[in-house]
Amino acid sequence: MEAGFSSLIIMVACLIALIVMIMKFKIHPVFTLIIVAVVGALGFGFPIEEVFSVVTGGFGSTIGNIGIVIILGTAIGVILEDTGGALVLANTILKFVGKKNSKLAMGLSGYLVSIPVFSDSAIVIMSPVARALSARSGVPLVALLGALNAGIMATHTMVPPTPGPLAAAGTLGADLGLLIILGLVTSAAYTAAATMWCGSKYMTNKYPEPAKVAGVEAALDDEFTLTSPDGQPLPSAFLAFSSILVPVILICVNSFGSLLMDPGSPILPYLGFIGHPIFALFMGVIIALMMGGDRLTLDQCYKWFDDSVDRSGFIILATGAAGAFGAVLKASGVGTYLGNLIAQTGLSAIFVPYLVSLLLSVSNGSATVSLITGSAIILPLMPSLGLSPVIATLAIAAGSSFFYHANASHFWVVLKANDDLPMSEGYELVSVGTAIGSLAAMVVVFIMSLFIHV
């Protein structure tokens, strides 16, 4: 379809309508995306008989790519959370790093726990650990909580099988194995930068108080060893780590095997099978179930899987709806037209997905929605931008948590989970911290874009 300036106006109007409907009128993002997709298709001048075929085609193909994978990834997180496996991950890191390096310990804990566990849940699970460590070591709470939140937000937005980056990767066709490896590197930069800000002299002098002992749950014993909050025995560290690392290793082996081995090798089909995200994450679920121990009954399994479907339902449907909107934009031809305009401005292509995601993040307050919607908007621009799908996904991910503020549920979860921190402290800890982390991550993505083109 031939696009012109009028198509660009229609696309901008669609994006404004999307933001206003979600923010102002509180219409559910799934319904908003579908409405905007249908109205946008009519505005672009699609033949009336093709409107719904384009919308449903985009919806179905997107869900087909990532639906099962998101459910399986969510299941691993649900089981880790409920069995205490997430606490075991933190416990192992605390023992390895030591209480003298408490900021590093909390940053690494958040970095690892948030790969399978949703960010809000990770904050609720890990905040008692940060407060206990602060109270007993005398380190200002703002430094430890900032490090924890930095690690959580970094991998939550950049490392599959977290649903947001997984959905964006599916939309743009990014290689998951390469995305995981580069996402871990980019997340490390995000975590380090935001941790340095929250542990800076400015922050610790302004907010020098350690956590109050009275408000600390018994999450740590005198040896700084984590204990189960409900009295249940904690699962083994081997199982907790394996539930995350085995899927990651399988996916990466497949990705790098495809790059390094002869295309005619008889081993490649087998690598493709065991390294397929569905098989890899299914293995992660099986390992996670072993953490149930004596609690592992059919009823308990049903509860975990039911919770997984509930949690992943919104993400899958929102991804499908964003795919419908993206299909409309792609079919309209506006991506090619906009790409040509961007080329004339001289703006580096790598900053386009970052800025789109950044604006979505600041306006709607959800990294997941920003990743899903941002990837749908960028999809039709990909041929003109000339970016690697992995790099484009990382740029969107880097912008998706920029300046988390009062319109984000995560902002309030951080405050509420820590004895109702003052809002002013929340803005400096969460909002400024995520902005600094986002910018640091984008610097790394920009450097990567100079060398990676696959």
Give yes or no for residue 231 having a pLDDT over 80: no
Task: Residue 15: give the domain boundaries.
Answer: 5-449
Q: Who's near 91: CB < 8 A, 6+ residues apart?
A: 225, 226, 234, 237
Give yes or no for residue 214 having a pLDDT over 60: no
Prediction pTM value = 0.88
Q: Is 15 inside any structural domain?
A: yes
Picking from 45-54, 108-117, 122-131, 240-249, which range would have the lowest pLDDT averaged per residue? Answer: 122-131
Q: Are 377 and 171 in contact, with CB atoms under 8 Å apart? A: no
Give yes or no for residue 1 having a pLDDT over 70: no
Q: Kindly state the average pLDDT of the residues 404-427.
A: 87
Largest CA-CA distance found in the chain, in angstroms, rounded: 70
CA torsion 143-146-151-154 (nearest 10°) is: -140
- Mean pLDDT for all residues in the chain: 90
Say whether 226 sits in a helix, a strand or coil.
Answer: strand
Q: Are 363 and 155 in contact, with CB atoms under 8 Å apart? A: no
Q: Which of 169-178, 204-213, 259-268 has the highest mean pLDDT?
A: 169-178
Say whether 220 sits in a helix, a strand or coil.
Answer: strand
Q: Is 454 inside any structural domain?
A: no
pLDDT of residue 101: 86
The burial of 230, by beta-carbon neighbours within 10 Å (0-12 exposed, 13-18 middle, 19 or more buried), is given as exposed
The burial of 222, by beta-carbon neighbours within 10 Å (0-12 exposed, 13-18 middle, 19 or more buried), is given as exposed
Summarised one tens digit per residue, pLDDT across range 256-310 is 888 788 888 899 999 999 999 999 999 999 999 999 988 899 999 999 999 999 9
Q: Kindly state the average pLDDT of the residues 222-247.
A: 79
In the DSSP assignment, the letter for residue 218 is: S
- Amino acid code (one letter) for 260: L
Banded model confidence at residue 218, pLDDT cuts 50, 70, 90:
very low
Structure tokens at 224: 């700084």
pLDDT of residue 277: 93
- The distance of Cα 12 from the centroid of its chain, to the nearest Å, equals 26
**How many whole angstroms separate alpha carbon 403 and alpha carbon 368?**
14
Q: Is 191 inside any structural domain?
A: yes
pLDDT, greater one: 312 or 391: 391
**How many whole angstroms separate alpha carbon 370 and alpha carbon 84?**
30
Banded model confidence at residue 215, pLDDT cuts 50, 70, 90:
very low
Q: Which residues pair with 220 in a beta bridge?
A: 226
Give yes or no for residue 226 having a pLDDT over 50: yes
pLDDT of residue 87: 85
Q: Which of 92, 72, 126 is nearest to 235 (CA)?
A: 92
Q: Is 14 inside any structural domain?
A: yes
**How many whole angstroms separate alpha carbon 156 and alpha carbon 413?**
15
Percent above pLDDT 90 for the chain: 61
pLDDT of residue 427: 93
Q: Kindly state the average pLDDT of the residues 108-134.
A: 89
3-state secondary structure 312-352: HHHHHHHHHHHHHHHHHHHHHCHHHHHHHHHHHHCCCCCHH
Q: Is 284 inside any structural domain?
A: yes
Banded model confidence at residue 172, pLDDT cuts 50, 70, 90:
very high
Q: Kindly state the average pLDDT of the residues 8-22.
A: 90
Banded model confidence at residue 217, pLDDT cuts 50, 70, 90:
very low
Q: Which residues pair with 453 in a beta bridge?
A: none
Q: Kindly state the average pLDDT of the residues 147-173.
A: 95
Summarised one tens digit per residue, pLDDT across range 342-360 is 777 888 899 999 999 998 8
- Asked, as a colleague might, if the bond just before 233 is cis with ω within 30 of 0, I would say no
| Per-residue CA distances from 243 to 31, 300, 302, 363 (Å) | 34, 18, 19, 35
Domain tally, the chain: 1
Q: Are 30 and 317 in contact, with CB atoms under 8 Å apart? A: yes
Q: Which of 180, 191, 187, 182 is nearest to 107 (CA)?
A: 191
Q: Is 273 inside any structural domain?
A: yes
Q: Is 42 inside any structural domain?
A: yes
**How many whole angstroms separate alpha carbon 378 and alpha carbon 23?**
21
Q: Which of 182, 7, 192, 127 is nearest to 421 (CA)?
A: 127
Q: Is the dihedral of CA 449, 436, 347, 322 positive or negative?
A: positive
Q: Is 261 inside any structural domain?
A: yes
Picking from 35-44, 214-223, 260-269, 393-402, which range would have the lowest pLDDT averaged per residue? Answer: 214-223
Q: How far apart are the first and last CA of the chain?
A: 28
Banded model confidence at residue 216, pLDDT cuts 50, 70, 90:
very low
pLDDT of residue 213: 53
Give yes or no for residue 236 having a pLDDT over 80: yes
